[in-house]
Every structure is written in C-alpha cells, then in structure tokens.
Amino acid sequence: MKSLILCLILSTMGSIGSASADVSNYPNSHIKKVMIPGADKFIPFAMQIKAGDTVQWTNGDTDDHTVVSDDAFTSPGFGKMNALISGTDHNGGHPGVLKKTFNHPGIFVYYCRFHSKLDKDNQPIAPGPDGGIQDDKGNFGTPMMGVITVMPRY
C-alpha cells in the first residue's frame, strides 16, 4: 500500500503547482512544527503534511543547526536548501526559527550539515567508527536528519 501511494505521488509530481519559498497556494493550509531540543536531533524525525502546508523549525538548543537538502535526495521542485537556524547563544537568548512552504506533493529529505556527514557521492558515513554522531557513552547513532512527506491536499 505504501509503495502504491508513493507511485501515485511520483506520477503526479511536476504537474501540480510549483515550489515556493514561504507562500502557500492553498487557503486551508497549516503550519507544522519541528522542534530541535537541546540535542542534535529533529523532532519528529518523520512528518507527513499536505500540499500547501508550511513547516516551521524551531531551534531550542544553545548551538546553531542547519536544514540542508540536496537535489539528490529530494523530489523535483522542492529545490536545494542550506539554511542556518541560530541557537539561543547566537540569537539573543531566543530560539531561531525557519519556515518553508511545500506547495506540491513529494518527499523532502534533509539533514544538519554540522551534525551529519556525507561522502563525495552523497552517501551517509554513519553509523560506524569513522563517522556519525557519538554519544557520551561512545555509542554511534543516527545523523541529525529528517524527512517530510508532502501528500496531495485534494
């Protein structure tokens, strides 16, 4: 069933709307929130929204983080992204905020370039002793990343 839905999404892409920085094409759209707590992770990791919705990332960490996406990972039309979200240390004590509106169906995969590592072929170098994120106990975990699935609105 999931693969059928994905096929439907892929077959309709390019025919619906166009990418836009921060203006929704739909009157009944919503703002969906992704939080960065005081840790190197996006919560939720995976999110499903509808075309026209805006995602708002809020960085509640003291450190800066980024939302980066490459054409290699992302459905056509969403565009590349390389945006800094200031942490509270660099934003007057307030969380940094970033918004992006998704006006057509597809899949947007992103990561933080400070807390993930990719090789020259865009392959993730994690988990393992040569890459990835290491906790204070020496365990390697998932790079700081997330995925947004944009479903058709109608």
Q: List residues binding Cu ion (CB under 5 A).
A: 65, 112, 114-115, 144
Nearer to Cu ion, 23 or 43 (CB): 43
Report the residue closest to Cu ion, judged by CB. Answer: 112
What minimum distance in Å lies between the beta carbon of 100 and Cu ion? Answer: 17
Nearer to Cu ion, 16 or 39 (CB): 39
Nearer to Cu ion, 73 or 104 (CB): 73
What minimum distance in Å lies between the beta carbon of 36 and Cu ion? Answer: 7
* DSSP, residue by residue, the chain: -HHHHHHHHHHHTTTS----SS--S-TT--EEEEEE-SSS--BSSEEEEETT-EEEEEE-SSS-EEEEE-TTTS-TTS--EEEEE--GGGTTTS-EEEEEE--S-EEEEEE-TTS--B-TTS-B--SBTTBSEE-TTS-EE--SEEEEEEE---
What minimum distance in Å lies between the beta carbon of 104 and Cu ion? Answer: 27
Nearer to Cu ion, 52 or 87 (CB): 87
